Chains A and B, each alone.
Chain A
Amino acid sequence: MNYLLFTELAMTAAAAVSFVYGAVKYLRPHKPLYASMIVLGVGCIMIGRAHTLLRMISGLDTLNLFHVGMLGTVGAFAFFFSANFGQIDSIVDGGEKELLKYRIIALSGLVIPAVLYVTELMSPDKRAEKIANGFVAVAVAASSYFHVKHLLIPDIDYGIVRCQRGYNALALIYGILCMIEINTKAYGMIVPDIIVSVLECAVTLMIVPMVHRGVLKWSR
């Protein structure tokens, strides 16, 4: 049986476990919207992976063409971006001049996804897949900016962002892993692809418990 089927199955299962745990904890009234959005992001990873898995089982193509499963990563990072940008960022960054250096350093978060996308553009992938992967790269890069920013910014007044540094580090790593996965698939590198998939499973499993730990810290 195809190794891709196993890796996709493992990633769907990891995301499902993480999502169910998060749904029980946070998809209820009077729970922090920030955490709920991250749980929905993990839910997006789950349905995206499940869709890809289902395409494989049904005998439909998943390589060298655009398919909706790819949008799972875009949706996940749109939720992560939305949680950081729409919910938390204005609390720690009111546009003060002293924080300018953190905003500039955070731009480094865009570099890795951009470089990895350029390497994918040079691969023998078809144009449709390169365009679709471009959407993934944009979503990962936009989200990574806030992950790096919230890892570094001094959160003296509220301490909310400081509590979520573990989550931001994991989300940043997950984004980079997704971009590496795109490359390993594009160049047909089987062993690196399996390694990246295992790491993605581990990170996906850890994201929601890490957010939960952060929520407990700030509500203590």
Chain B
Amino acid sequence: MEQMSEILFICMSLPMILILFVLPDKKSRLFLGYLIIGTLICLIAGALNIFLLGLFDNDVNYVTTAITPISEELLKAIPVLYFALVFSDDRETLLSISFSLGIGFAILENAVILVQNISSVSIIWALARAIGTALMHGACTAFSGIGISYVHKRRKLFFCGTFALLIAAVITHATFNVLVQSHFRVAAFILPSLLYIPFIIREFIKRRKKAPAHKK
């Protein structure tokens, strides 16, 4: 069972890698690619978390609420920054790939936790984790993506803005982790929805405004 994370990673990402070469659309390949990178980042973060746990005398409560949100958010921001530096700093694309990366991270994390707690999981657990964790990781990575989109346009804003947004992401992530371990577990799964729903409404309104222009 020691290599369970690696086994799960192979089982999940290998089929996705195979379909990556079949997809005809460049955008779909990009989003799926970043989903796979998200699972890879989760695997790396898992190894790093074990190391960090050792540094803090295996205090799981403290490490998961104060240390791992920092390391995980930093790790998730790296591939987004790489994309912005090398390929494109288009905000819409960056937001989409950051969200994909966050979701990929959450998929593997959920699978690992599922295997570790196989005897106590339920449908409610699955729904709560699938919605709560996925949205939280997606939204937090998207925070960094907004700042990173300034990488070529405005350097001054990029450095301090990304740092500030990264901090906002770390605090949101840590708050989620504290809520999950507290008596207010239900709130942990409402918090990410509060971030997601306004975003979806905004996107919906934006698309509706754009739609008549396309028809013409």
Contacts and interface: CB of A to CB of B under 8 A. Distances in A.
Contacts of B182: 54, 57-58
Given A78-B160, A85-B156, A86-B160, A40 B171 contact: no
Nearest to A81: B160
Interface string A58-73: 1010000111110110
A47 B161 contact: no
Contacts of B164: 37, 40-41, 44, 75, 78-79, 82
A87 B179 CA distance: 36
Q: Is the interface of B mostly helix, strand, loop or mixed?
A: helix
Given A54-B175, A58-B181, A86-B154, A67 B161 contact: no
Interface size bracket, A side: 20 to 34
Interface in A23-51: 37, 40-41, 43-44, 47-48, 50-51
A68 B156 contact: no
Contact of A71 (B154, B161, B170, B181): B170
Nearest to A69: B171
Interface of B: 61-62, 65-66, 69-70, 154, 156-157, 160-161, 163-165, 167-168, 170-172, 174-175, 178-179, 181-184
Interface of A: 37, 40-41, 43-44, 47-48, 50-51, 54-55, 57-58, 60, 65-69, 71-72, 74-75, 78-79, 81-82, 85-87, 90
19 contacts: A37-B161, A44-B164, A47-B175, A51-B174, A51-B175, A54-B184, A58-B178, A58-B182, A60-B62, A67-B65, A67-B66, A68-B65, A68-B170, A68-B175, A75-B168, A78-B164, A82-B161, A86-B156, A87-B157
